[in-house]
Amino acid sequence: MRIIAAWLLFSVLIMARNEYDDQTWGAGVVGRVDSIPYYDPVVQDSSVSNFVPLFYYENEYVYLRGTTYGAKLFAGEEWQLSLLSRIRFLSIPETYQNKVQGDSLDYGARVRYFQQDNIYIDLELLQNSDDGKLVNLRYSADLVFGDAYFSPYGLVTYKESAFNSSYYGRDLETIDPDVGAALGFDVKYHVYSNFYLLGGLSGTYVAYV
């Protein structure tokens, strides 16, 4: 049986940013809204929202980019190799958030190929800190329109059964592996001086195999 799930993610961030000695740093807070991929006959919430502090820093060796951080292993003209970790949020009704602390970490390696200076392909091989592996293949572009920076992307993800059973099934039931496809964009707008307004929107289609 083929099961389909879809959800949207929207975030807004105000960030202070400065650059010195070829280093970039920043801090801000993001408001996150996500649909809940669980059914509960008692709780009728269909979405969850929260605030997340974000930190940005980058130099020749390491980087912090919001909920993603890692270390650079190799950087050539067309190819990059890095280690990365990314926070994975568990979207559950507010009623259960104090009982179930489900946020986890995806960590592993990423290979990036630059098709052009502002167009690139990422292949990520990741392990979740709770259980299960996943693979991400992402196609992205960085576009500039005056004070606005627009980054559309397409993403294909494979998640194995162990990951789905841990993340979605909460180890109470076994869930098949799935393949998901997502389209979305990130946008940054320069408001004034070192202040930026950031946002993003994405939609995901998931088919269990």
Ordered DSSP codes for 91-107: ---HHHHTT----EEEE
User: Does the global pTM surpass 0.85?
Assistant: no
Residue 20 has phi, psi (to 5 degrees) of: -155, 145
Amino acid identity of residue 24, one-letter, is: T
What's residue 155's pLDDT? Answer: 96
* CATH value at residue 174: 2.40.160
Domain with 137 in it? 4-208
**Integer Rg of the chain from CA:** 18
Can you tell me which residue has the tokens 């980058």? 58
Angle at 191 between CA 186 and CA 197, to 5 degrees: 30
Domain count, the chain: 1
Most confident of 133-137, 162-166, 190-194: 133-137
3-class DSSP state of 140 = strand
State the DSSP code for 9: E
Q: For residues 20 and 5, give the distance between their C-alpha atoms in angstroms, rounded to a whole number.
A: 44
Looking at per-residue confidence, does 64 or 111 come out higher?
Answer: 111
Q: Which residues are CB-neighbours of 108 under 8 A, at least 6 positions away?
A: 83, 84, 124, 125, 126, 127
Q: Is 167 helix (H, G, I), strand (E, B) or coil?
A: helix
pLDDT of residue 78: 94
- Per-residue pLDDT at 139 exceeds 50: yes
Q: Exposed, middle or buried: residue 189 (CB in 10 Å: 0-12, 13-18, 19+)? A: middle
Q: Could you list the beta-strand ranges (E) of the chain.
A: 4-20, 23-35, 47-58, 62-66, 68-75, 79-88, 104-116, 119-128, 133-141, 143-145, 148-159, 178-192, 195-208
Instruction: Kindly state the average pLDDT of the residues 45-72.
Output: 82
Give the span between the Cα atoms of 134 and 55, in whole angstroms.
25
Whole-number percent of the chain with pLDDT over 70:
73
Q: What is residue 120's predicted lDDT score, i.e. its pLDDT?
A: 97
